[in-house]
Amino acid sequence: MALDTLDLGVLIAIVLAIGIYFTKGSLWGKSDGEDVSVPRGSSRDLIEVLSTNNKKALVLFASQTGTAEDYSHKFAKEFQSRFSIPTMCGDLADYDYENLNEIFTSVDGFQLVIFFTATYGEGEPPDNAVEFFDYLENECEDLSNLKFSCFGLGNSTYEFYNAMGKKTVSTLTEKGATLVGELGLGDDGRGTMDEDYMAWKDGLFDILKDQLSLEEHELVYEPQIKIEESVLTVDSPEVSLGEPDAKYINPSQEEAQSLNEGPFDHTHPYLAPITVSRELFNSDSRHCIHAEFDISDSTLKYTTGDHLAIWPSNSNEHVFNFLDILGLYEKKDVVIDIKSLDPTVHPHLISPSTYEAVVRHYLEISGPVSRQFVGSVAQFAPTEQAKAHASKLGKDKELFHEEVTSKFLNIADLLRVLSDGVKWTSVPFAFIIESVAHLQPRYYSISSSSLSDKQAIHVTAVVEQEKYPNVDHIVTGVATNLLLNIQLAQNKVSDVKPVVTYDLAGPRQKFAPFKLPVHVRRSTFKLPSNPATPIICIGPGTGVAPFRGFIRERVAQAANDIGVGKTLLFFGCRNSTEDFLYKDEFVDYSKKLGEKFELVTAFSRETAEKVYVQHKMLERATEISELLDDGAFFYVCGDAARMARDVQTVLVRIMMSERKVTESIATGMVKNLRVLNRYQEDVW
Ligand code: FAD
C-alpha cells in the first residue's frame, strides 16, 4: 500500500524521533571544540550540576525561537546580582527531572526555581520542553518541596494565549509545588513583552524580599563572560567570521561534504543556495520576494506546510552604526577570545571571533531597545548628562515610550541620541554580548510542495520597510531586506535602491553566490491525508504562501491521476495590479485543476468600501457550509492580530445562517472542527 502524505509525515517524525533519541547530546549539542556555545554540562543530574557549581537558584527555559531563553538569562543574571544568590540558567532539554523535588533538601541553601515558558503553535510546548511536560504529566508524583515562579511568553492574538505558562503553574501546583508570586504573562501580541516582564520581575523581587527574606543590593554589572583581544588575526583559519556554527569554520574536504548531510536544526543550519529569486509586487515602494532554496545537494527534507527558518545577518549600515557608537569601528577586525567565567554560562557564540562578526551575525542590533538595557547601560555612559538621561529613561515607562519606542530607535540610535554623538567607549563588550538579544532565525511558511518541488523550498516574504509619521528614518526588518538585496543582486536590478545593504558574500565568501543558512521546522499545518478531501483556504497577503504549496501539491497529484478534492482559496490584497501575489500562476493552476480549484479575490483598495476576505467568505456562505458538510478542511494563514480572529467570527456567522443554529451551537461547531483537526491555523 502506498504511503499517503500524512502517513509519510508520521513515519518521518518517528524516524527522526528515534534518531534524536539515540544520538542525544551529539545532535542537540552544537559541535564541540572551539564552540563555547555548547550548553551541555557533563551531567543531566540537576542536583549534581547545581552542587558542583555551588548554585542556589535555578532558572529553566522552554524556548522555541530563543526569546524565552534570552529573558531567562537576563533574569538569572539580575537575580544573582541583586540578591547575591548564585543562579544557574539551564535549558529544560538538558536535564532529567526525577530529583527536581529534592533540590531544596539536597542543595544547601537552595532558594527557588524560576521557569520561563514560551507557548508554541496551537498551545504546544516548545521542542526543548516536550520531555519535561511529558515527565510532569505522566511520571512526576510529588513536588511538595518545590518553590517556583513562572513567566510565560505568549501572544494574546492566539487562541491559546500563554497556554504553556498557565500549564506550568497548574501542573506544578497540582503536584504540590508552591508558586511564589504570580504567573507573569508576557504578551507579544500587544507588543508589551518587555514591559510585562519588567512589571512581573519587579513584583516578584518585592515578594521575594518579603517572603524569602532576601536582601536586595544595588545592581552592579558582574560579567559572566570574559573578552580578551587575541594575537590572532582576522586571517587566522580558526577565527569565526560569522560562520553559522563551528562546523563551517575551515572544514576539511571530508567535513565539508558532511555539512550537506545534516541533521539540520536550530543549532546547525544548511547553507542553501538560492537559485531563483524574484519580485512579486508591482510597486515602487513595497516589495515581496519569492525565493527558491535548492536542497538537492543536501539531506534537508520538508513536507508541504512546514516552515523554513532563515538565519539572517545584520545590514552593513546597522553594523557600522553599532560598532561606531561603541568606538569599535576601527577595531572591527580585531580578534577576540570569548570565555565563560561561569561553567554554567555558555554564550551562543563561537570563539575566537571578531567584533564585527559578533555584531553582524549574532546580535539583534536593529530591533526595538528594551528599557532594562537603557537603565543598565547608563553606568557606562560617556558623559554625566547621558548617564542621567539613560537612568531616567530606564525608570520611566512613559518617558521611555515617548522618547524611544515611539521613535523606533534601535540601540545604536538611542546611544547616539543620549550622548549627543559622543562614543560609548567604556561599555564592556562582554556587557553587550550579555545584554543584547541573540539574532534569531526568521520563520517562513513554505510556499512550495514537497511533492512537486522535491529539490527546492520556496518562500514568499514581504519586505519590512516602514516610514512612520514623525520618524526620520525608514524602519527595516533584518531578514526580509536581506532577501530583497539578494533578489536585486541576483537579477542585476539597478533601478531599485535598497534602504540597507548587506555583506552577501558572508564569512570567507561562504555565502557566495547567494546562499543562506536555513533549517526546516516541522509544522502541524498539513493537507488532509486523503487528496479527495475538499479544502477551504483563507490566505490574504503572504498568508497565501502555504496555500500555493497546497495547490502545487494538488496539481502534481492530479497530474498523477490522483483524484483531488476541491480547493477554494480566498486571497486578499490592496489591488489587482500591485500586490496580487502569484496572479499568473493561479491562472495556470486553474487550467490544470479545472473546476477543482477556485480563487476568490478581495481587493481592499479598489472600491470605496474596503473589501476583505471575510466579506468574500460571507458571499460564499452556502458553498463553504456545503463543503464543510462534505468533510472539507478549513485553513487560515497570515495575520494573527486581526484577520485570523475575524475569519473565525465570520465562520461562526456562516454556520448560524446556513445551519439555522444559535451562536453558541455555531461556536461549538467551529470548535469541534478544530478538535477534529479540520480547522488549522498558520498565523503570525
Ligand atoms: P525583523 O527584523 O524581525 O523586524 C520585525 C519588525 O520590527 C519589522 O516590522 C520591523 O520594521 C520592526 N522594527 C525594526 N526595527 C525596529 C525598531 N528599532 N523599533 C521598532 N520596530 C522595529 N512572513 C512572511 O513575509 N511570509 C511568510 O510566509 C511568513 N511566515 C511565517 C510563519 C511563521 C510560523 C512565523 C512565526 C512568521 C512568519 N512570517 C512570515 C513572519 C517572518 O518570520 C518575519 O517576522 C518577517 O518576515 C519580518 O522579519 P524581518 O527579519 O525582516 O524583520
pLDDT of 29 above 90: no
Listed range (28-42, 547-561, 621-635) with the worst mean pLDDT = 28-42
For ligand 1, the distance from its centroid to the CA atom of residue 612, given in whole angstroms, is 22
Question: Rounded to the nearest 5 degrees, what angle is found at the Cα of 280, between the Cα atoms of 648 and 588?
Answer: 80
Q: Which of 482, 174, 110 is nearest to 313 (CA)?
A: 482
Q: What is the pLDDT, as a whole number, of residue 12?
A: 43
Q: What percent of the chain has pLDDT over 90?
A: 86
Query: DSSP letters along 203-272, please?
Result: HHHHHHHHHS-PPP-------SEEEEE-S--TT-TT-BSS-SSGGGSS--HHHHHHTTS---BTTB-EEE
Match 467568505 to its residue by C-alpha cell.
Answer: 617
- Does the CB atom of residue 349 touch ligand 1 within 6 A? no
- Does the CB atom of residue 367 touch ligand 1 within 6 A? yes
- Does the CB atom of residue 478 touch ligand 1 within 6 A? yes
Non-local (6+) Cβ contacts of 95 within 8 A are 44, 45, 46, 49, 60
Q: How many CA atoms lie within 13 A of 324 on its CB side?
A: 11
Q: What is the pLDDT, as a whole number, of residue 42?
A: 67
Mutation to probe ligand 1, out of 266, 288, 444 (largest number of atoms < 8 A from CB): 444
- Residue 120: helix, strand or coil by DSSP? strand
Q: What is the pLDDT, as a whole number, of residue 266?
A: 87
Listed range (162-171, 343-352, 413-422) with the worst mean pLDDT = 343-352
For ligand 1, the distance from its centroid to the CA atom of residue 177, given in whole angstroms, is 38
Query: DSSP letters along 480-530, please?
Result: HHHHHHHHHHHTT--S---SS---TT-GGGTTTTTEEEEEEE--S----SS
- Does the CB atom of residue 368 touch ligand 1 within 6 A? yes
Listed range (181-185, 347-351, 435-439) with the worst mean pLDDT = 347-351
- Which of 98-102, 342-346, 547-551 has the largest mean confidence? 547-551
Phi first, then psi: give them for residue 277, nearest 5 degrees: -145, 145
659/642 Cα distance (integer angstroms): 26
- Does the CB atom of residue 684 touch ligand 1 within 6 A? yes
- Residue 678: helix, strand or coil by DSSP? coil
Query: DSSP letters along 325-353, please?
Result: HTT-GGGTT-EEEEEESSTT---S-BSSE
Catalogue the E-assigned strands of 365-428: none
For ligand 1, the distance from its centroid to the CA atom of residue 43, given in whole angstroms, is 37
209/302 Cα distance (integer angstroms): 50
Q: 367, 347 in Cβ contact below 8 A?
A: no
Q: 649, 612 in Cβ contact below 8 A?
A: no
Q: 95, 59 in Cβ contact below 8 A?
A: no
- Does the CB atom of residue 443 touch ligand 1 within 6 A? yes
For ligand 1, the distance from its centroid to the CA atom of residue 477, given in whole angstroms, is 6
Q: 334, 31 in Cβ contact below 8 A?
A: no
pLDDT of 609 above 60: yes
Q: Which of 596, 588, 592 is nearest to 569 (CA)?
A: 596
pLDDT of 20 above 50: no
> Long-range contacts of range 608-612, CB-CB < 8 Å, 24 or more positions apart?
611/572, 612/540, 612/572, 612/643, 612/646
28/21 Cα distance (integer angstroms): 10
Encode pLDDT of 225-283 as tens digits.
999 999 999 999 999 999 999 999 999 988 988 999 989 998 899 999 999 999 999 99
Q: What is the pLDDT, as a whole number, of residue 218?
A: 85
Q: What's the maximum distance between 2 C-alpha atoms anywhere in the chain? A: 78
Q: Which of 241, 272, 276 is nearest to 259 (CA)?
A: 272
Encode pLDDT of 624-655 as tens digits.
999 999 999 999 999 988 899 999 999 999 99
Q: Is 537 labeled as catalytic in the residue annotation?
A: no
Encode pLDDT of 196-218 as tens digits.
999 999 999 999 998 888 888 88
- Does the CB atom of residue 410 touch ligand 1 within 6 A? yes
Q: What's the length of the chain?
A: 684
Question: C-alpha 170: how far from its chain's center?
Answer: 26
372/391 Cα distance (integer angstroms): 10
- Cβ-in-10-Å burial (0-12, 13-18, 19+) of 235 comes to exposed
For ligand 1, the distance from its centroid to the CA atom of residue 50, given in whole angstroms, is 38
ipTM higher than threshold 0.90: yes
Q: What is the pLDDT, as a whole number, of residue 64?
A: 87
Q: 39, 346 in Cβ contact below 8 A?
A: yes
Average pLDDT over residues 406-410: 97
List the binding residues for FMN. Answer: 63-68, 118-121, 153-162, 188
Q: Which of 224, 243, 578, 634 is nearest to 435 (CA)?
A: 224
- The single residue of 72, 240, 353, 445 carrying the catalytic annotation is 445
Question: C-alpha 634: how far from its chain's center?
Answer: 25
pLDDT of 310 above 70: yes
Non-local (6+) Cβ contacts of 76 within 8 A are 57, 59, 87, 88, 89, 114
List the binding residues for NADP(+). Answer: 286, 542, 604-605, 610-614, 646
Starting at the earlier edge strand, list the strands of the sheet with 515-521. Answer: 442-445, 307-310, 515-521, 270-279, 288-294, 456-462
For ligand 1, the distance from its centroid to the CA atom of residue 378, given in whole angstroms, is 29
- Does the CB atom of residue 414 touch ligand 1 within 6 A? no
Across the chain, what does the average pLDDT equal? 92
pLDDT of 13 above 80: no
Atom of ligand 1 lying closest to residue 480 CA: 52
Atom of ligand 1 lying closest to residue 461 CA: 25
Q: Whose CA is nearest to atom 12 of ligand 1?
A: 477
- Does the CB atom of residue 473 touch ligand 1 within 6 A? no
Q: Which of 575, 516, 527 is nearest to 552 (CA)?
A: 527
Query: DSSP letters along 551-608, please?
Result: HHHHHHHHHTT-----EEEEEEES-TTTS-TTHHHHHHHHHHHGGGEEEEEEETTSSS
pLDDT of 16 above 50: no
Q: What is the pLDDT, as a whole number, of residue 106?
A: 93
Phi first, then psi: give them for residue 70, nearest 5 degrees: -60, -45
pLDDT of 502 above 50: yes
Q: Whose CA is nearest to atom 13 of ligand 1?
A: 367
Q: Running DSSP on this structure, what letter comes out for residue 662?
A: -
- The single residue of 150, 288, 573, 637 carrying the catalytic annotation is 637
Q: Whose CA is nearest to atom 36 of ligand 1?
A: 684
Query: Cβ of 13: how many Cβ atoms within 10 Å?
Result: 12
Q: 323, 315 in Cβ contact below 8 A?
A: no
Helix (H) or strand (E) holding 117: strand 112-118
Q: Is 445 labeled as catalytic in the residue annotation?
A: yes
Would you state the cell numbers that stand for residue 7, as one nine-digit string?
Answer: 502517513
Residue 157 banded pLDDT, cuts 50, 70, 90 = confident
74/450 Cα distance (integer angstroms): 40
For ligand 1, the distance from its centroid to the CA atom of residue 365, given in whole angstroms, is 14
Match 539578494 to its residue by C-alpha cell.
Answer: 486
Q: Whose CA is nearest to atom 53 of ligand 1?
A: 477
- Does the CB atom of residue 86 touch ligand 1 within 6 A? no
Using the CB atoms, write b or e for 447-460: b if 16+ within 10 Å.
bbbbbbbeebbbbb
Residue 15 banded pLDDT, cuts 50, 70, 90 = very low
Distances (CA, A) of 673 to 122, 187, 304, 413, 526: 14, 27, 21, 48, 14
Atom of ligand 1 lying closest to residue 446 CA: 28
Tally helices (H) and strands (E) across the chain.
22, 22
Atom of ligand 1 lying closest to residue 408 CA: 19
- Does the CB atom of residue 466 touch ligand 1 within 6 A? yes
Atom of ligand 1 lying closest to residue 364 CA: 2
Q: Whose CA is nearest to atom 9 of ligand 1?
A: 464
- The single residue of 200, 311, 424, 684 carrying the catalytic annotation is 684
Average pLDDT over residues 592-596: 97
The dihedral formed by the CA atoms of 191, 194, 196 and 198, expressed in degrees to the nearest 10: -160
Mutation to probe ligand 1, out of 127, 157, 414, 480 (largest number of atoms < 8 A from CB): 480
Q: Which of 58, 82, 71, 59 is nearest to 373 (CA)?
A: 71
Mutation to probe ligand 1, out of 405, 416, 445 (largest number of atoms < 8 A from CB): 445
